[in-house]
A and B are shown apart, each in its own frame.
Chain A
Amino acid sequence: MRSLFAIILFGALLFSGQGCRDKAKDAGSFSLRKDSVKVNSMTLFKQVGGYGRLEAISAENLIVRFNGNIKLNGQGTTFKKGQLIYRLTGQDIELQKMKLENALSKAKARFDYEESVYSRKKKLIENKVLPRKERDKIIYNFTAAKENLKQAETRRRYFLNMTAFKAPFDGFLSNLSVNQGEYVQKGRSIGLFSSNSGFKLIGTSYGDTLFSIESEPLVIELNGVFQTGGRIMFVEKTINPTSGGHTFWAMLNSVSNGLYSGSYVRYALKFDPYQAPVVPKTALVLEKGKFYVVQSVGGKYRNVAVTVGRRVNDLVEIKEGLKPGAVVLTRGAFEIFHRNLQKTLKLAD
């Protein structure tokens, strides 16, 4: 009995200690997902950037000449030369139009009559059969009727032109400040029609770089999205006291829809293309003011210091430290770079 009790007690003590010796089941190993890319070369440009203003080479302020209701051509904002942009309607206009039409009809009718008289008596006039006074009267009446008709046509055409504005050149409508059917008064500006075949960029640049690329062909990027060709026409030598920089004018080959004369844009003037290795920005690790990448070499990783240059969207130029063809980590680069963190970071436990 004693022995049994002792065995039970001993066993209970041993068993109670099992809680201290929990064993783990086989767990396998886990490491964070890593992605890598090969370093490629890309054409980059030297660039100068800033903010500027666009101005169309040709632009016409649309000012209405008559009171009336605006009827816009609903086809959009881009028009070819001669296309109708808007028409004015309204009672006054219809009345005036009717008057002019009537006047034209009357003038036509009169002209037809005088022409028929002249035609019938043309031989007699030419052979001087008719008396001089009658001859002169027929000729005068015909001439007057003809002139009258011409005047009536001109007045009608002018009126129609003024009440139905057609695009004087290829371009686009912007700054529209009226709604369809809205009543406008004579003299009001309802928008701006700008030529889309010629725009200039007026901007400010700091430093002397633009002087060296004046008149050279450039790639001009607007708002980080639209790219076109162009060249710098002129750079002011003196510093503009308002902006603190040099004002310049650049000619653009084209402009996208959505940009119009008077738009402020963020520009980038790109020139002197060159080839350079680039990496995605996710490959770069910033540590104590220097940039590094994690290069994969033969299955091992090493931290490589690099000098970075330009950024193009999500890519970054590598000026020094890496050559095309090298393989660098993107996803996982940060953690691999700091792979000794467990030894160096002390935490409250």
Chain B
Amino acid sequence: MNLWKKFIRRPVYSLLLILILVFGGTWSLMRMPVDYFPGLKYPLINVISQYPGISPQDMEILVTRPIENKLQGIRGIHRTSSISSIGISQVTVEFNQGYSITEARQLATAAISRLSGQLPDGVHPLIDDLGGRMQKIISFTFVNSSLPPTELRRFVQYRLKPALHSVAGISRIDVFGGQRPAYIVEPNINAMRRLNLSLEDLARVLKENSIAVSGRYLRMGHLDIPVRGNGRIQTQDDIRFLAVGKNSTGLPVFLKDIAQIRQGGLPEHYVVRSDRQPAVALIVQKEDGYGTIKVARAVERKLQSLKNIMPAGTVIRKFYDQSEILSESMGGVKIEMLIGALLAMLALFFFLRRLTPMLIVSLTIPLSLFSAAMLMYFSSFSLNMMTLAALTLSIGMVVDDSIIVMENIERFLEQKNTLFRSVVQGTKQILAADVSGTLTTISVFIPLLFVGGFLGNLILPFGLTIGYTLLASLLISLTVIPALMNRKGKIKKITAEPPAFLKRFISLNDRWFRFGMRYKKSMFGGLTLLFVVGGVLVILLNNIRLMPSIDEGALLLEYVLRPGVSLSESYRVAEQLIGEIRKIPDADNIYLRIGSPEGTYYIEDVNKGELLVKMKPGKLRTQNIAAIISQLKEKFSSLEGVVLLYHQPTQEKIDESFSGLPAFFGVSVSGDNLDTLRSLAKRVEINMRQSGGLNNIINNAQFTVPQIEVTPKRAQLAYYGLNAGQLMRQLSLAFRGRVVARFVKEQTPVSVFLRLPEADRNNIEKLMNLPVRTQNGSYLPLNRLANIRIREVSPTITHLNGQREVTLIAEPEGKLWTVVSRLKQNLKSVMFPPGYSYRIRGQYQTLLKSVRSFALVIFAAVIFVYLLLYLQFNSFWQPFVILLKIPLDFIGVFAALLLTRQTLNISVGIGLLTLVGVSVNNAIILIDMVNHLRRKENMTVEQALLQAVHLRTRPILMTGLTTMLALLPAAIGFGIGSKIHQPFAITLIGGMVTGIFFSLNVIPALYAAFARRLSK
């Protein structure tokens, strides 16, 4: 206490503290990385592998199972799941809580590295974590119509990409599109037959004729000169003049005589376009811990510096830039913070009518923010939309503590005490209320520490940031504010007379006070009804989604066709969609990707395409994104055979980050045989429809795709001296093709790719008649050596914990437990063969668990708050009265949400949580005064209540109005980022409007009712 008194007496200490906070806070703000969202650190890993053209069944056997088996051996695994589709495998591993994402990655990487040799040639698994998608911050396309696609790709991949890697903070750069350079060798079947050659022979010739050797050293004079044998293929002529056999006259036959050799690109099964022009895309992913804006700007500067080496005519188009959204959001946030602070100061001046106390209290705002910045930095937070929102929204709340301390000091001054005594006694008297009020507000965020999973990652920084600012404001209100109030000879004479408007308010409030005291039961009944009706209406009438959506200035339109569709058909649809989107005046660039390029994290088949439409800059735009989306939905509403999904790019990345997690509710049927699983799924689907309570039941297993299956006739093969491997290799080389040699030309790897010409493999008859060379030199058509048939197979094979499964997804309605038990009863009638079973599962279980544990923790927090209040008031029923204010304030929230038709999302949830903490403060300071008046002045309950209301009206109004006015800019919205703050602000403002009124009328009535019954 002496130390504290010393601190108050000597201004140098408070000056020192202010300087430490200012400099420390500034330093922390400059060092903190700026990101869009908090890093998602949920320990979930996706292992993505590509093997183009391979069927889902082969993908499952050759790639998915080996990877799954290795990963399942890792300790700490909660669940594994996988999807095997045409050419793509994704294995998802979810670790137990308690594992960090870094640990999870390390364990997964170590497991994958032990797979070497077990995966087919050319398969290189990539490891992606949940937050990785969000780190893809800036993307470009490169278009050059005068350059061959191989040249453009070569330039971007081997010149630009290495140069960009020198920029600090970049973890990965993906380049795709264009073509990877290759010499394409397409032999003539008939010419090969004449020379009794097979494709394997040609492959061998090509491979063996590209070799470099060393002859060690040759001593010549004083020199040791290395001898280099460079037999590598370097040019097209080197390939053309490879001898493949001899003709009847004994002369060599060259490859050029029996094959077409041309310069081209390796075959790809995806499309990348920029405004319908072939393009090469470049996607930059930054490292966690580096600021988005900093890295994006550095990349743009680097590209600018490389413009002089770019081929003439190259057009660079930026189709995604997260930093633009961030900059614009931050601009809006700064305006909101500034205006909010000014309005709060204005409100203070309105009440205090003096500049100096207003300025002293207003100092709390920057000091609290700087303090919070320091704590955020040391907690390894970044400045992102959530933490910035927390800082913005706490501006109005941080002055509360300082207001009540200052107000109490002034009350002592009004009683003609000395300055120092007023400061000390005023602060001491309000200390308990101040501390318990702040701790109560902060304690509501404690449950967030126990919210696990991705939700915890998202909202914990928000809650902790608010906690930091409030803790800082408490400290400042008990140190700096009293010290600054203790300025000798500078305080004007304080009048005890309140301002006129306050007197009028008090007079009006007295009427409501008396009404409430007289008609307690009616009032309580009416309020209860309002609470229930309001709550029900909000849930029924307002939309619900997890994240608030903001206008990013870009639209992501995903289209989906029936699985199995060809790439050309998919592109045909995409072209037409682009044509329509081009008609939107605000559309700037349009980027298209269909399918999944090799070596990237994409896993979509060609039936899915992604159109990213970047709009013109905000000032040049005529509509916002929501309106454009609405317009497109209407335009495409009658589009048949195409499913369209509308997102915004960053929003979609957040949603995509959660991919790998199961659907909300589903029934999984597991077993070995896919056909049996499909038929069981059909029966389960029927039962699900019959059991009721389940909407939109979807059975994706019903979709099959045709697959041509070639199975060897082993007896026939043996007769002709062939085995299945030889037959399959000939088939693979003829139709799939293979890179048979590689060399480096001008620092660029070039492949030699061997395959039959398109004309010899473009229909099933050609396949059936494919000449297969036998051991005795004759050629037989493939259909003599193998059965060829078209089968319908699943386009994807999914596993859960290593077992095949099919999941039927549904949307439950009504009471979940009733639906589940009825479904279980119905499913008893489905006969599951041995080895087959079903399970009802889904995210709903995790969410329900989270909700249960969250509810438990909320309950614990309420108990904790109750205990805090009990310790303060030493009463069983008074904390209960205080806590009853919470549902009362919710009435205002419901009204505000209904009035503004605000979507219910995570921001609203956090707003409600914050309101729980804030709303009890007014009740605390009121009841504290009532108890003081009853104890010290011997007043009756009614007298003490009325007097306390009169005395506490000013601080209650001041804290309430400053908070509301500080939140007003956020409620109105000054930028694209405000969509995240707006729901929170509206929730708090709505709650505080009624909170002020109920604090001064309903709480006294409740107090009186309880006091009468419990005689205390």
Contact = CB atoms under 8 A, between A and B. Distances in A.
B300 interface: no
A27 interface: yes
A159 interface: no
A175 B246 CA distance: 12
Interface residues of A, number: 62
A245 B630 CA distance: 65
B925 interface: no
A50 B765 CA distance: 10
Contacts of B267: none
A337 interface: yes
A334 B641 contact: yes
B576 A32 contact: yes
A60 to B, nearest CB: 14
B769 A50 contact: yes
Contacts of B776: 242
B902 A20 contact: yes
Contact of A2 (B501, B655, B704, B993): B501
Contact of A345 (B703, B769, B993): B703
Majority secondary structure of chain A interface residues (helix, strand, loop or mixed)? loop
A242 B809 contact: no
B641 A22 contact: no
A334 B632 contact: no
A13 B989 contact: yes
A67 to B, nearest CB: 16
B632 A335 contact: no
B689 interface: no
Interface in A1-34: 1-2, 9, 12-17, 19-25, 27-33
Interface in B683-703: 696, 698, 700, 702-703
A13 B759 CA distance: 68
A1 B634 CA distance: 46
Given A16-B986, A264-B193, A335 B640 contact: yes
B561 interface: yes
Contacts of B1: none
A244 B251 contact: no
B971 A12 contact: yes
Given A25-B631, A243-B778, A244-B784, A17 B901 contact: yes
A310 to B, nearest CB: 9
Interface stretch (B305-313, B620-628, B748-756): B620-628
Given A33-B576, A344-B698, A334 B769 contact: no
Interface stretch (B516-524, B565-573, B730-738): B565-573
A206 interface: yes
B986 A345 contact: no
Contacts of B900: 13-14, 16-17, 20
A291 to B, nearest CB: 11
Contacts of B636: 30
Nearest to B626: A22
Contacts of A32: 573, 576, 639-642
A198 interface: no
B951 to A, nearest CB: 21
Contacts of A188: 249
A1 B706 CA distance: 75
A20 B561 contact: no
A189 B790 contact: no
Interface in B780-838: 780-781, 784, 790-792, 809
A27 B248 CA distance: 72
A121 interface: no
Interface of A: 1-2, 9, 12-17, 19-25, 27-33, 49-51, 175, 177, 188-190, 206, 223-224, 242-245, 262-266, 286, 288-289, 311, 331, 334-339, 341-342, 344-349
23 contacts: A2-B505, A17-B899, A21-B901, A25-B623, A30-B635, A31-B640, A33-B576, A51-B769, A51-B781, A175-B247, A177-B247, A177-B251, A243-B779, A264-B193, A266-B189, A266-B190, A286-B706, A288-B792, A335-B640, A335-B641, A341-B562, A345-B698, A348-B655
Given A190-B249, A243-B780, 20 more contacts: A9-B989, A13-B900, A25-B631, A27-B634, A28-B635, A32-B639, A32-B640, A32-B641, A49-B769, A51-B193, A51-B779, A206-B781, A244-B780, A335-B561, A335-B642, A338-B562, A345-B643, A346-B700, A348-B663, A349-B645
Closest 10 CB pairs of A and B: A17-B900, A335-B641, A24-B630, A346-B698, A264-B190, A22-B626, A339-B640, A27-B635, A264-B193, A27-B634
